[in-house]
Structure 1
Amino acid sequence: MSQFAATINATEFPPQLKHKVIFETFNHLEPAQAMLLINDHDPIPLHFQFESMHKGKFIWEYIEQGPEIYQVKISKSSL
Protein backbone atom coordinates (compact mmCIF):
# COMPACT_ATOMS: atom_id res chain seq x y z
CA MET A 1 0.00 0.00 0.00
CA SER A 2 1.32 3.45 -0.94
CA GLN A 3 2.00 6.02 1.73
CA PHE A 4 0.22 8.54 -0.51
CA ALA A 5 -3.52 8.75 -1.04
CA ALA A 6 -2.86 10.67 -4.27
CA THR A 7 0.02 11.69 -6.53
CA ILE A 8 -0.03 14.85 -8.60
CA ASN A 9 2.56 15.45 -11.26
CA ALA A 10 2.09 19.19 -11.72
CA THR A 11 4.07 19.18 -14.96
CA GLU A 12 1.15 17.38 -16.61
CA PHE A 13 -1.31 20.24 -16.04
CA PRO A 14 -1.56 23.64 -17.73
CA PRO A 15 -0.47 26.49 -15.45
CA GLN A 16 -4.01 27.79 -14.87
CA LEU A 17 -5.12 24.39 -13.48
CA LYS A 18 -2.15 23.35 -11.33
CA HIS A 19 -3.10 24.97 -8.03
CA LYS A 20 -6.79 24.18 -8.52
CA VAL A 21 -6.04 20.46 -8.91
CA ILE A 22 -3.60 20.47 -6.00
CA PHE A 23 -6.02 22.15 -3.59
CA GLU A 24 -8.97 20.01 -4.70
CA THR A 25 -6.88 16.91 -4.07
CA PHE A 26 -5.77 18.18 -0.66
CA ASN A 27 -9.36 18.99 0.29
CA HIS A 28 -10.38 15.40 -0.45
CA LEU A 29 -7.71 13.92 1.82
CA GLU A 30 -8.84 12.41 5.10
CA PRO A 31 -7.05 13.57 8.26
CA ALA A 32 -3.55 12.05 8.47
CA GLN A 33 -3.53 11.15 4.75
CA ALA A 34 -0.83 12.51 2.46
CA MET A 35 -0.42 13.36 -1.19
CA LEU A 36 2.74 13.50 -3.27
CA LEU A 37 3.39 16.57 -5.39
CA ILE A 38 5.91 16.28 -8.21
CA ASN A 39 7.10 19.46 -9.91
CA ASP A 40 9.92 20.75 -12.10
CA HIS A 41 10.66 23.76 -9.86
CA ASP A 42 10.54 24.56 -6.16
CA PRO A 43 6.85 24.99 -5.29
CA ILE A 44 7.57 27.48 -2.51
CA PRO A 45 4.86 29.93 -3.74
CA LEU A 46 2.38 27.06 -3.32
CA HIS A 47 3.67 26.54 0.22
CA PHE A 48 2.91 30.18 1.01
CA GLN A 49 -0.58 29.73 -0.46
CA PHE A 50 -1.12 26.65 1.75
CA GLU A 51 0.00 28.73 4.76
CA SER A 52 -2.55 31.38 3.85
CA MET A 53 -5.46 29.02 3.19
CA HIS A 54 -4.78 26.05 5.49
CA LYS A 55 -2.57 27.36 8.29
CA GLY A 56 -1.95 24.65 10.87
CA LYS A 57 -3.88 22.06 8.86
CA PHE A 58 -1.07 20.59 6.74
CA ILE A 59 2.49 19.28 6.95
CA TRP A 60 4.90 20.10 4.11
CA GLU A 61 7.90 17.76 3.72
CA TYR A 62 10.40 17.85 0.88
CA ILE A 63 11.36 14.40 -0.35
CA GLU A 64 13.49 15.63 -3.25
CA GLN A 65 14.70 19.21 -3.73
CA GLY A 66 15.84 19.55 -7.31
CA PRO A 67 17.54 20.76 -9.22
CA GLU A 68 15.35 19.16 -11.89
CA ILE A 69 12.64 17.39 -9.89
CA TYR A 70 10.97 18.47 -6.66
CA GLN A 71 8.85 16.06 -4.67
CA VAL A 72 6.82 17.23 -1.70
CA LYS A 73 4.77 15.16 0.70
CA ILE A 74 1.77 17.24 1.76
CA SER A 75 -0.13 15.70 4.66
CA LYS A 76 -3.44 16.76 6.14
CA SER A 77 -3.08 17.28 9.87
CA SER A 78 -5.10 14.98 12.04
CA LEU A 79 -5.90 17.73 14.54
Structure 2
Amino acid sequence: MPTEDRVLDVRSEEPRRRHELIFETFTDLPVGHSYVLVNDHDPKPLRYQFEAENAGEFTWEYLEQGPQAWRVRIGRIAAPAAPGATVPS
Protein backbone atom coordinates (compact mmCIF):
# COMPACT_ATOMS: atom_id res chain seq x y z
CA MET A 1 0.00 0.00 0.00
CA PRO A 2 1.33 3.44 -0.87
CA THR A 3 1.86 5.89 1.97
CA GLU A 4 0.81 8.87 -0.15
CA ASP A 5 -1.70 9.16 -2.96
CA ARG A 6 -0.61 10.33 -6.37
CA VAL A 7 -1.97 13.80 -7.14
CA LEU A 8 -3.57 14.46 -10.52
CA ASP A 9 -4.03 18.21 -10.93
CA VAL A 10 -6.08 18.86 -14.07
CA ARG A 11 -6.62 22.60 -13.55
CA SER A 12 -4.08 23.54 -16.23
CA GLU A 13 -5.30 20.93 -18.73
CA GLU A 14 -7.62 21.75 -21.61
CA PRO A 15 -11.19 20.92 -20.55
CA ARG A 16 -11.63 18.40 -23.40
CA ARG A 17 -8.57 16.45 -22.15
CA ARG A 18 -9.45 16.34 -18.43
CA HIS A 19 -11.85 13.38 -18.35
CA GLU A 20 -9.53 11.36 -20.57
CA LEU A 21 -6.64 11.88 -18.11
CA ILE A 22 -8.81 11.14 -15.09
CA PHE A 23 -10.13 7.88 -16.52
CA GLU A 24 -6.68 6.81 -17.81
CA THR A 25 -5.33 7.30 -14.30
CA PHE A 26 -8.18 5.27 -12.81
CA THR A 27 -7.77 2.48 -15.37
CA ASP A 28 -4.09 2.11 -14.42
CA LEU A 29 -4.85 2.13 -10.68
CA PRO A 30 -4.34 -1.19 -8.87
CA VAL A 31 -7.07 -2.43 -6.52
CA GLY A 32 -6.54 -0.95 -3.06
CA HIS A 33 -4.87 2.23 -4.33
CA SER A 34 -6.17 5.74 -4.86
CA TYR A 35 -5.23 9.12 -6.25
CA VAL A 36 -6.24 12.68 -5.47
CA LEU A 37 -7.92 14.62 -8.23
CA VAL A 38 -7.49 18.41 -8.09
CA ASN A 39 -9.96 20.41 -10.16
CA ASP A 40 -11.08 24.03 -10.45
CA HIS A 41 -14.78 23.18 -10.09
CA ASP A 42 -16.94 20.56 -8.38
CA PRO A 43 -16.45 17.34 -10.39
CA LYS A 44 -19.96 16.07 -9.60
CA PRO A 45 -20.73 15.23 -13.27
CA LEU A 46 -17.54 13.17 -13.31
CA ARG A 47 -18.83 11.17 -10.34
CA TYR A 48 -22.01 10.40 -12.27
CA GLN A 49 -19.87 9.14 -15.15
CA PHE A 50 -17.87 6.94 -12.73
CA GLU A 51 -21.13 5.54 -11.35
CA ALA A 52 -22.38 4.75 -14.85
CA GLU A 53 -19.15 3.22 -16.15
CA ASN A 54 -17.40 1.86 -13.05
CA ALA A 55 -20.17 0.98 -10.58
CA GLY A 56 -18.85 -1.00 -7.62
CA GLU A 57 -15.21 -0.39 -8.56
CA PHE A 58 -14.43 2.98 -6.97
CA THR A 59 -14.61 5.16 -3.88
CA TRP A 60 -15.12 8.93 -3.93
CA GLU A 61 -14.11 11.12 -1.00
CA TYR A 62 -14.15 14.92 -1.05
CA LEU A 63 -11.06 16.31 0.69
CA GLU A 64 -11.66 19.96 -0.25
CA GLN A 65 -14.75 21.61 -1.74
CA GLY A 66 -13.74 24.96 -3.22
CA PRO A 67 -13.96 27.76 -3.79
CA GLN A 68 -10.53 27.77 -5.50
CA ALA A 69 -9.92 24.04 -5.73
CA TRP A 70 -11.77 20.79 -5.29
CA ARG A 71 -9.79 17.76 -4.14
CA VAL A 72 -11.30 14.30 -4.38
CA ARG A 73 -9.67 11.01 -3.40
CA ILE A 74 -10.69 8.41 -5.98
CA GLY A 75 -9.89 4.84 -5.04
CA ARG A 76 -10.16 1.49 -6.78
CA ILE A 77 -11.88 -1.12 -4.62
CA ALA A 78 -12.51 -3.76 -7.29
CA ALA A 79 -11.10 -4.88 -10.61
CA PRO A 80 -13.08 -3.97 -13.73
CA ALA A 81 -15.99 -6.26 -14.45
CA ALA A 82 -15.51 -8.73 -17.28
CA PRO A 83 -17.04 -7.61 -20.59
CA GLY A 84 -20.71 -8.54 -20.66
CA ALA A 85 -20.88 -9.06 -16.89
CA THR A 86 -23.56 -7.28 -14.90
CA VAL A 87 -23.02 -5.50 -11.61
CA PRO A 88 -25.31 -6.78 -8.83
CA SER A 89 -27.80 -4.22 -7.49
Q: Report the TM-score when normalising by structure 1.
A: 0.91
RMSD: 1.4
Unaligned runs of 5+ in 2: 80-89
Tell me which residue corresponds to 1:43. 43
CA–CA separation in structure 1 for the residues paired with 2:78 and 2:16: 30
- Count of residues in Structure 1 that have an aligned counterpart in Structure 2: 78
Instruction: Give yes or no for contact 2:61–2:74 (8 Å, CA) kept in 1.
Output: yes
Tell me which residue corresponds to 1:61. 61
Q: CA deviation at 1:58?
A: 0.1
Structure with greater helix share of residues: 1
Computing the radius of gyration over CA atoms, which structure comes out larger, 1 or 2?
2
Unaligned runs of 5+ in 1: none
Tell me which residue corresponds to 1:28. 28
Q: Percent identity?
A: 38
**Structure 1 moving runs of 4+ over 2 Å:** none
Q: CA deviation at 1:12?
A: 1.7
CA–CA separation in structure 1 for the residues paired with 2:77 and 2:4: 15
